Amino acid sequence: MDKYRAVIDMGSNSVRLVIYYEAAEGASYEVDNIKNTIRLNTFLNERNEIVEQGIAEVIRVLTQYRQLCEARAVSSVTGVATATVRKARNKEGFLRRIREVTGFSFRVLSGEEEAYYGYLAVVNSMCVTEGFTIDIGGASSELVRVSDRRLIESHSFPFGAVTLTRQFFQGEIPTMEELVALEKYITAQFTSYTWLRGKELPIVGMGGTVRNLAKIHQKMMRYPFASLHHYEMKKYQVDAVFHHLKDLSPMQMQGVEGLSKERADIVIAGIVIIKALLSYIGSERFIVSNKGLRDGVYMESRLKAKSGALVKDVIEEGIRALMIHYKVNVLHAQHVDYLCCTLFEQLATEGLHRYGTEERLLLSIAARLHDIGRTINLGEWQQHTFYLMVHVLLPGLTHKQRLLAALIASYKGSKRMQQLAASYESMITEGEQQMVEQLGALLLIGRALDRTESQQVSEVMLMRTSDAIMMHCRGNIDGRSLEAKTLEEHKKKFKKQFGFPLQIEWMKP
Q: List residues near a second copy by CB under 8 A.
A: 2, 21, 29-34, 36, 60, 64, 67-68, 70-72, 226-228, 290, 327, 329, 331-332, 374-380, 383-384, 387-388, 391-393, 452-456, 480-482, 485
Q: How far is the CB of 262 from a second copy (least distance, A)?
A: 11
CB nearer to a second copy: pick between 151 and 427 = 427
CB nearer to a second copy: pick between 51 and 376 = 376
Q: How far is the CB of 309 from a second copy (least distance, A)?
A: 23
CB nearer to a second copy: pick between 145 and 230 = 230
Distances in Å between the Cα of 230 and the Cα atoms of 43, 72, 299, 471 are: 34, 30, 18, 40
Instruction: Give the three-state DSSP class for 467.
Output: coil
User: For residues 132 and 314, what is the distance between their CA atoms, to the nearest angstrom?
Assistant: 18
CB nearer to a second copy: pick between 252 and 476 = 476
CB nearer to a second copy: pick between 65 and 116 = 65
Count Cα neighbours of 74 within 13 Å in the Cβ-side half-sphere.
22
| DSSP bridge partners of 287 | 204, 232
In this structure, are residues 158 and 139 in contact, taking their beta carbons and an 8 Å threshold? yes
Instruction: Give the three-state DSSP class for 243.
Output: helix
In this structure, are residues 460 and 343 in contact, taking their beta carbons and an 8 Å threshold? yes
User: For residues 183 and 369, what is the distance between their CA atoms, to the nearest angstrom?
Assistant: 46
CB nearer to a second copy: pick between 244 and 261 = 261
Q: How far is the CB of 361 from a second copy (least distance, A)?
A: 22
Q: How far is the CB of 496 from a second copy (least distance, A)?
A: 18
Distances in Å between the Cα of 113 and the Cα atoms of 110, 140, 356 are: 5, 13, 40
CB nearer to a second copy: pick between 169 and 326 = 326
Exposure of 99 by Cβ count < 10 A (0-12 exposed, 13-18 middle, 19+ buried)? middle
Q: How far is the CB of 375 from a second copy (least distance, A)?
A: 7
Instruction: Give the three-state DSSP class for 197.
Output: coil
Q: How far is the CB of 159 from a second copy (least distance, A)?
A: 29
Q: How far is the CB of 408 from a second copy (least distance, A)?
A: 20
